[in-house]
Structures are given as structure tokens and as C-alpha cells.
Amino acid sequence: MRVSVTEGKLGTVGAKAPAFVSRFHPPCGINQEIWRQQRPKVQAFPVVTTVPTNVNIFSACLEPGMGTYYFEVDPGGTAFRQMVIEEDGSLVVSNRKHEQFHFMLAEHPIDVTDPYYEPIPKSLFEELWTRSLETTMEEWNQVKLALPVGMEVEGAIEAFFPQGTLVNLLQDQAIGLADTTALDHTTPVERMYSGFKLAATVKDYDELNQWVLLDHARVLEAKRR
């Protein structure tokens, strides 16, 4: 498998949020549903909701038959966006939930000095990313019409990313992004897990990832999907 990575300076928007990068393929022998529910230790870093700068793009082929991986990473090796082009040409992207791989993003910082990783032009990564966004653009436009700024919404926690907490907005099959630091300050630790329901207000839209930006998010007491 082949791997690619890009480089630049991270743009920051909003409050600081803990950084968690979701998983590659879950290890063999572990129940995938349980695996998704584990909440990792996190490290604080700025929310990113604009096109990042000061990042590197790399590609890599990790194992034969696993396709080509593309990573956008910051100077510390943390991945913010990731794509996999599989052998059959299908694409797995970190901004959308995959039926098999869930939200797929490198869990640990990437050591770009490893010979597996090959630097590639950021323009190539953006071309592939844009191609993926175009396949869901009609659905994304419908989401924005259905969820206008200021609307109260409910959803369930899906994953913790460097950008914040990903939320499945159940009524519209949209993905929301909440500020993890703000949630941590108001939510008992035992409720900061995948599946817990929350309520929030639509604040804006992240066009780079086709995510609905959420404000005033709060986990609902004793409710889990």
C-alpha cells in the first residue's frame, strides 16, 4: 500500500478542543462496536474549521492490497484529514462515516520520516478531496436547507477528532461538529462516549468537511442511543 502526506500552518477557528484521531482498521479479535465506544485520552489543540495551513501531505502504501493512503498532518504528525483509495477505486474519507470503517482517521501521530510515507503536492490531495466532496454535494446542500443557522438540533456522539466532537444529527443524517472542551466542562466523564445523545444549536457550516458547526452543545442526561 502506498501513503501520501501534505505540509503547512494550521488555521484556527473557535475555542481549543481536545485532539483525538480516530482509528485505522480495528485490531483482529476485538468487537468493532465496543472498539468504537472507547474514549481515548486527548491532547488539547485549536479547533480547525477552515482550510489548514502549515500542514504536510503524504501518501503511503502500507501493505499490498490495502490501497493508497493520503494524510494531511500538522508539524507534530497529527492527521486532520485522511483518504484511502482502495484497490477497486473506491474512496474512504475521514469526513464521512463509512459502513465498515466508521470514521477513519489515524489514531496516533504519523512519523513522516518513516520510508513508508512520501511527500506529495497539497494540490493533489485537494483535487482528490474535492472530487469526494462533489459526490455528496447535493446531499450537503439539502442538509444546509434543512438545518438553518439558529436551529435547535439533537444527535448522538460519534467520535472525537482533532477538530472537535463529531455528532450524528439523526433527523437529517448529517454530521455535526461540537466543541469538545466546552462539552468536557459541562458533562460528566461517563457520558463523554460514543452513542450519548446531545442537543445543540446550528452555528455555521464547515464546507471543507461538509459538517454542521454546533454551538451550546449539551449531553442529555442519562440518554444513550
Between 56 and 204, residue with greater pLDDT: 204
The CA dihedral of 149, 9, 185, 95, to the nearest 10 degrees, is 50
> Range with the lowest mean pLDDT among 59-68, 71-80, 116-125?
59-68
Segment 164-175 mean pLDDT: 88
Per residue in 94-142, pLDDT (tens digit) is 999 988 888 889 988 989 888 888 898 999 999 999 999 999 999 999 9
CA 135, CA 141: separation in Å to the nearest integer?
Answer: 12
* Structure confidence by residue, pLDDT tens digits, 153-162: 999 999 999 9
CA distances from 119 to 18, 85, 145, 187 (A): 27, 17, 39, 40
Span(s) in the chain for CATH 2.40.50.140: 139-224
Q: Classify domain 139-224 at the CATH superfamily level.
A: Nucleic acid-binding proteins (2.40.50.140)
- Listed in sequence order, the residues at least 6 apart from 18 whose beta carbon sits closer than 8 Å to its beta carbon are 42, 43, 44, 45, 160, 180, 181, 184
Find the range with the poorest average confidence among 15-24, 120-129, 172-181, 209-218: 15-24
The single residue listed with the C-alpha cell 474549521 is 49
**Band of residue 173 on the pLDDT scale cut at 50, 70, 90:** confident
